[in-house]
Structures are given as structure tokens and as C-alpha cells.
Structure 1
Amino acid sequence: MTTDPIVCLHGITSSRTTWGGLVLAAKPLGTDPHCLTLLGHGPVGERRRADGYCLEAFVADVMAQINRLGLQRFQLVGHSLGAHVASMIAERFPQRVSRLVLEELPVPARSRADSGPVYHRWSGALIKVGALSGYRRFDPVMVSRVLDQLGRPRPQWWRDLGRITMPVLMIAGGNDSYLDQTRFALVAAELPDVRLVEIDGGHRGHITRQEEFLAEVVPFLLGPTQN
């Protein structure tokens, strides 16, 4: 059985409580996942901020939290923005990540000629406008800065995918998701040890199709180690 601790990263405008189902499923198996809070999220007086909210700052902040927990090697689960941050951590610290779950990963463009992570460009604008009403739970400025970065080409991220050599489970949300589902296969083609599955629950399948999500993720994280 895999014994490395589990670290979970929530999506943009979400919170650590989104992983309640995974926590409840893992505890009887002897594991209590560490559910972290990303930059710019949480109550106004408690949230951690960063100038510009560059994606590299999210990576540094998550790694600082992990290091404070004393975790040397861990399994990493991420949803949406959390999945993208998790992918960056796996690229930069592959020796510390034993397994990786990427749910509804926003896949950026390789170049200006490539498409971005969403089906329609106005999806980002709608999310930015909607974020204004959520300022008590997250920083709307963070939402805007992050979406701008994910909407631009990230060729270095693509080049570094080859560093992700640990087992990877990619989860797509199906037709109800606003992310372009065709892009997940492009990422999977760059990874040596990956399984891509679809859970037809939209962008938040870990909530809308929780049983199906757990049926895939729990055995992957806590099942027998593959040789």
C-alpha cells in the first residue's frame, strides 16, 4: 500500500473544504490528507497575498506549507488552478512527488498559434465578473491575474512536462465542463506513466460525481504500489 501522505490543492475561488469527500474516504484507510489553502483565498483578514499573483508564487507558497508540515515525499491532488499548480510542483520537484492526480487541469497554449484551456474566450471574462461578488472568500484581483496567465502561452510548462515521471491520474469532466476536453490527451501524450479517465460531472466532478471520483482516486492513491 502507498504510504506517502496526500496533499490536496483546491481550485480557483474554492477552498480546502472542497476535499471533504476524499478526507472521509481516506481516514478509515489510515490516511488524513493535508488540504491546503492557496494564495488569495480565505477570509479577508486571513488570506495570504502576493504581488501580481504569479503562478510561481503559488508554487513557492504551497511548497512552504508542505515544508512546514515536514513532508519530504508526498502524493499530490489538484483541481483546476490547484491541478495546474500541482503540475508545476511535479515538474520542479519530481523527486518529492510519488503520485499525481490532476482533475480538470487548465491546459495553456504552447504558442500563440495554439488554443488555450477554455472552449470560449469569454468564459474567463464571465468568471472575472462573477468573482467580484466573492471578495469575502477570495481576492477578485487574484482571479483576474491567474486567468490572464493561464490564458497566455506557457511554452516552458510544456517543455517541462517530461520531468513528470511519477504515475499520473488525469481526470476530465466531460461535455459539461467549460474547459476544452481535447487538450487533456495532448498533455497525456507527453507523460510516460499516465491514465486519463472521464467522469462526466463537469468541472467539479469531485463534488458532482463524488462516488465515481473516489472510485478512481482512492485506489490510485492508497492501493497497492505498482512495480
Structure 2
Amino acid sequence: MMRKPSNYTATGALFLVLLGGTACERTSPSNNDPNNQPQNRAEADLAELREWVKDKTEKTDSTLLEKGPKVREEFKQRSSQLDTRLDSLSEKSKEEYKELRRKYENWEARNQQRGEVPLHQETLRRIETELFGTPNALEVQIPADQMRDVYTQFLQNVRQRRTTWTASDWDYVDAIYRRLNEKKDLVEAQIPTNDKLKIKALQAEYLTLEAGKDAKDLYREMKQ
């Protein structure tokens, strides 16, 4: 004869289920902690814009003038997206957003002004001679196995002469640096691996020196 399950057994199982649910609820993290609140979309967009502006304004890119339209369009898209969510920002975040816009717009104006200044061939030849010993160094094809030595010479002279250069001189140096990179790109596939690594290190050093120059120029502008 089969025995029916006792009411005690069924009730006990139900009690254990309810107890488990209660225990889970008690051990789950509280959402009342203000430091544990999920970030809203507007604040996340602001954080992304902060990093983007920092990347563009604090790092020097020798091809920046050519990339100008693309950079401006990207800023326009990012700021337009954030403009639609302004009501979700705190007052402090709104002030930061205004400051980021001002910082980017000032930076863009300076770069655009630099791009509008024509290069004078006499000055260009003078600075090429300072950097390479001849004004025609970049007029000829540079063999792949000599590219490392050319970059080394370029950086040695940049280190030695950079303190005497004006902001206008740096515009010419930037133009020469871009031409040197173009020469390298033509023979990139034939450059030995170790030479490629050295060239990348020299390029990074140049960008660091140029960024330091930009910071000094900005400091002088703030004092004037």
C-alpha cells in the first residue's frame, strides 16, 4: 500500500524555498549606495569626450592637418550627441562639458591657423640643411637600408636645435617630418625589422619633443 506524502514534508519544502529566496535577497548588494549607482548615458558620453579631447589636444600627430576635416566631424558628432542629453548631466558636468568644448575649439583654431600659413621655400631649405646637411636630402629616393640612419640624423639635429626654433620654425620641421615619413612608406616592406623598431622609437621621441614645444607655446599664450 502506497503512503501519501505528509503535509509536513510539503510544507517544509515550501518553507525552505521561501527561506532560500529570503536569504538571497538579504545577501544581494543594496542599490541605495550612491557610489554604486549605474552611470547614466550622458555622463558616459562626457567621459568618452573627455578622453577623446585629451588624446587630440595633448598628443602631437604629424598628419593632423590632413586629418582636420575628419577630426572636426567626429567632434561635431560627439558633441551633438551629448547636447541632446544635457538635462541628464549634473551642473558640475555641464561646466566640464563647456570647458572641453572651449579647449577643443582653441586647439583646432591654432592648428587651422598653422595650416593656412604658406611655407617659404628659402626657410624650408635652411631648415632642411640644418637637419640633413643638404636642402635636397628628401628630393631623392632613400634606400630601405639607409632609412634608419636618416631618421637618426634627423632626431639628433632636432634634439640639438629645438631650443632655438620659433613656433614658425617648428611648422617647417613638421612639414619635413611628414615628407620623411612619406619616403619611409615607399620602402616600408623592405626595411629590416630591427630598423623598423628603431624608427618607431625615434618617431615617438620626435612627437614627444614636439608636444613639449606645443605645451611651451600654450604657456606663453596664457601669460600674454
Give the TM-score category using the shorter length: under 0.3
Point out the structure with max Rg over C-alpha: 2
TM-score by length of 1: 0.21
Indicate the structure with greater strand content: 1
